[in-house]
Each structure stands twice: as structure tokens, then as C-alpha cells.
Structure 1
Amino acid sequence: MLLSEELAFQEVMKSYTEPLLKIAYLYVKDWQVAEDIVQDTFLSYYEKFEQFEERSSLKTYLVRITINKCKDYLKSWRYRKLFLTNRFSLTKKEQAHLVQQEERLDIANAVLNLPLHLREVVIHYYYEELSILEISTILSLSDNTVKTRLRRARQLLKEQLSMDEWEVLSNE
């Protein structure tokens, strides 16, 4: 790799690490795993950067890689084993801390509890502030599918949240 390509790669990492970390975390709900996934994303980009055809923005391309890596992780045995192990090994103090966090983050938890296909649309629409068209490009879905998923996600959120919490979301 040439020096100019190396500098360009470092600039890509500086520019996109934080947004990719946020997206990965919202999928896997674990910062350490999210960091690993983002590292894998950049490694994949580094190994195959000449294959990037620029049919979409670089951010869209990297987000797509990150999402795919998150989905692969969520299907993996490593995740299932970690989930089962951690579920039964919390101390009472840790459990109390988690309950306290849950009380403060009801809306975020409701979003994170949505099925993955609905959660990703909500995250991109509200959190990343992407348009329906941008979301459909990133997820390789039709515009109508994105709109339908967004509507279904809103219906589920309305059922899960109290009226006060729902009013905050519906007024945005």
C-alpha cells in the first residue's frame, strides 16, 4: 500500500469509527463486541478497498459491512454462549444497577427490544436521521418495505411505552 493510500485509510478510520461504533452497539448491545466488529469492518475495507465501486457513499458502504458483521455475530455460537452465561452470573448489586439503568432508559430499551429488522429501521431513521431512501439503499430494501417496517415499529413502541414516553416520540 502506498503512503497516500495509507493516509487516506487513516482518515477514513478517523471519520467513521464513532458512527460505526454507535451502529454496531445498537445491534449487539455490547461496547467491546461493537469495537471488535468495527475493527473487522475496517479490516475488510482495508483488504478489499479497491473493490469499492462508489455506487453509494463510503459511509453507506461501511455501514452495510458493519450491519452484516453485526448480524453474523448475533447468529454466532459465541454470542449465544455469552448471552446464556452472563444471564445467570450477575450479582445482586449488578442487577440493581441494571434495573436503575432500565428505569432511566425505557425508550431506548423499547427500541432495543424490537425485532432486529424493525430496530435497524428505527435506528437509522431516528438516531442516524437518514431518509427513507437512504435507509432503503443501506438495507437493500424497497422504500415501501422501509415505510412498513417503520410503521410496525411505531405500533410496537406505542404498545410497550407509557403514554408520557410515547408522547415524547410522537412529537418528534
Structure 2
Amino acid sequence: MESKDLIHRLSEEELFKKYYPRLCDFALRYVQDEHLAEDLVQDAFVSFLENKHQVATDDNALKAFLYSCVKFACLNRLRHKKVKKRIEASMDANPVEDPKFLEAIVHAEIMGKIHEAINELPKGCYLIFKEGYLEGLSNQDLAKKLGISINTVKSQKQRGLMLLKRKYITGNLRSSSAAYI
């Protein structure tokens, strides 16, 4: 029967030789790659050597530490491999075939054209349109902020809408966005 104090009785090399084969077999059942299993077991032994003073000195504590290190290393590697495959699969997918991708492009282009069109509005219309529609201020808040009447705010909004509709109807907005479909 073995002594319970293997850490003190055996050298680091003897401990490695004793546990290496069984830990490799254990790791191989997880990762199914012999070289990777060997690397993970070696990493577990390095971890043991770095933390040897924190591990209890009996055989069971040493086994528990080494098996736990190997198990978590295997699980981390498998998780990493799974994430890597998912990323590679998403990169391999043709983005043009993804409806969300196309929708996002069309939306971004339309919003860009709308912003360009708003920026081309006369200054008064631009300010009221931007703060009223894009920033969500009410007509009353706009009138108060800009020191103008509510009717002026309403007429500037109507004027801005009319100018944007004219620009949209002429096809400037449609033809540019249609190129991305």
C-alpha cells in the first residue's frame, strides 16, 4: 500500500511519470486528439508545480488537483474550439444572402440619404426638422427653445417635409438605395 504523502516521497519527475499516462488517457476522452491531450496534461503539471505549496500532500488531493486541472483545461479548449467554429462558419456565410445584412445596408443607406437631405434644407427648416423629428422635441418645446411661435414651427416642419418629399419623389433617394438591393 502506498504512503499518503507522495508529494514528499517522490520527485517531481517520478510524479510526472506516475500520473502522466492516466491523465493523458483522461484528457483524450474529452478532446479526442492525442497531441492536444498531452499538451493539456503537461500544462496541468506545470500548474501543479507552480501551486504545489497550496495542494495538500496526500495522494488523493494530488490526484484531485491534477484531474481537475486537466478536466477544466479540456473543457476550456472545447469551448474555445466551438466558439472558433461558430465564428468561422459565420465568416464563411455569404453576407449578401443574409436578409438581416441586406436590410441593415438598405436602412443605413436610406438613413444616410435622409440625413444628407435634411442637411441641405434651409437653416430654419433644418433646425426645426432636426430637433423636432430627429431629437423628438415637441412643437411647443421647439417654439420655446428657438423663441418663435408654434405656428412658425409648424409651417417650417411642413416646408421641410414638402422639400424632402420633392427630393424623394424626384428619385434621388430611391435610385441610390436601389443600387444596394
TM interval, shorter chain, is 0.3 to 0.5
TM-score (norm 1): 0.40
Task: Find the structure with the greater CA-based Rg.
Answer: 2
